[in-house]
Amino acid sequence: MSASAIFFTDLKGKILISRNYRGDVPVSCIERFATRIQEEEEADRKPVFTEQDVTFVYIKYNNLYVLSVTKKNANVFTMMNYMVRLCGVLKGYFGEVSEESIRDNFVIIYELLDETMDFGFPQTTEEKILREYITQSSFRLEKQPRPPMALTNAVSWRSEGIVHRKNEVFLDVIEELNLLVSASGQVLHSEILGKIKMKSFLSGMPELKLGLNDKLMFKASGRNYAKGKAVELEDVKFHQCVRLARFENDRTISFIPPDGEFELMSYRLNTHVKPLIWVEAVVEPHKSSRIEYLITARSQFKSRSIANNVEITIPVPTDVDSPSFKTTIGTVTYVPDKDAIVWSIKQFYGAKEVVMRAHFGLPSTSDPNDTSWKQPASVKFEIPYFTVSGIQVRYLKIIERSGYSALPWVRYITQNGDYSLRMS
């Protein structure tokens, strides 16, 4: 990366705090940045620009700018990634990153700037490791004979000598379903966004191997798989602990995990998915005096599964009054601030169909031809022990020199993302 200096400025480009790592760029270069952000419209600003052989790379974070400058042919993405991760570390220390929190914590910020970067090259930005020797209660290090092992170790995200009384691993496979359905019932867009979160409470320096029913992994290993039993993952992103070369070679997910909670990987599947919860709304206006709704909700997943905390939001005209509801299950609430009714169902069993009726009064002055209020209905839900893609954890092997046994726990959850159904 080779950054020459890092600056934190206010929205006018005035320096709040800075650290010059290489000394090859004068501090006065910030004036060019301040001039640029004051003269240009925000929509026209570019996050990367070069003036007089100096490259400026910046991000906007809350009411601040974080700026990195360099004279080298540096990796711009790495510079941006470092600044984002640095802001995440500061947020972990101070609760929020703002002008006030920066002014109140100069000493500890300088320490973090020195530990997260050395002569312009990023070191560790793992908050758990940094907290071992830079604590919130102490702004100045009294004694630090040597850096933690994690900084001099290839495994920078994990400390040596971790001991847990009970060795356990928890895996959460969480999938969000983005869905848009037309008024005629046609699926216009469907997408699955998944992530695997892990809580690791393992002693020592364990080596983990995770196996999924990944279609490309089966092909790479020459194994056969039953139709419908494997999934083809797209846009896979891993935590830095995963050995990418090993994954690219034979699709093996091999890693030494950080201690505690972290996101191991994320993925996407751009695939056709039928609505898990189908909602149909029949709206009947009556001569500008009242309007009636007949809402039918149908769970289109297996009967052994249950959707928890279901919320179906149906838009209504802005000027309705005198609401009344009848439903076979759950509760219905009129929310005037959102111009909508919210049908809440605590537990919605699979392969079920339920009905709700709503009645509103309308003022005599309302326009019967106004349909601007007919926004898509939206659905919120969470289905445990179920993944819409069919992804499965086939195995999780834990290898550690001491040979202890550990208990892996796996949980599957499917929930809504941007889940909308257009009304007729």
Residues 142 and 238 in one domain: no
Write out the residue range of the structural domain in which residue 371 sits: 277-384
Residues 122 and 177 in one domain: no
Would you call 369 helix, strand, or coil by DSSP?
Answer: coil
User: In this structure, what CATH number is given to the domain that contains residue 291?
Assistant: 2.60.40.1170
Query: For the residues of 104-152, what is the DSSP string, one character each?
Result: HTHHHHHHHHHHHEETTEE----HHHHTTTS-TT-SS-S--SS--HHHH
Type of residue at 116: T
Residues 219 and 340 in one domain: no
How many structural domains does the chain have? 3
Identify the H or E element spanning 215: helix 215-221
In-domain check, residue 215: yes
Residues 83 and 116 in one domain: yes
Residues 23 and 116 in one domain: yes
Residue 15 CA to residue 106 CA, distance in Å, equals 13
Residue by residue, pLDDT tens for the chain (424 residues) are 678 899 999 988 899 999 888 888 888 888 888 888 888 887 788 889 888 888 999 999 988 999 999 988 888 888 888 999 999 998 888 888 888 888 888 888 888 888 888 888 888 888 878 887 776 553 333 444 455 555 545 677 888 889 999 999 999 999 999 999 998 889 999 999 999 999 999 999 999 999 898 776 666 555 655 555 778 888 999 999 999 888 888 788 999 999 999 999 999 998 889 899 999 988 888 776 888 999 999 999 999 999 999 999 999 988 888 999 999 899 999 999 989 999 999 999 999 999 999 999 988 655 656 666 788 999 999 999 999 999 999 999 999 888 888 888 999 999 999 999 988 7
Residue 304 CA to residue 386 CA, distance in Å, equals 10
Identify the H or E element spanning 290: strand 290-299
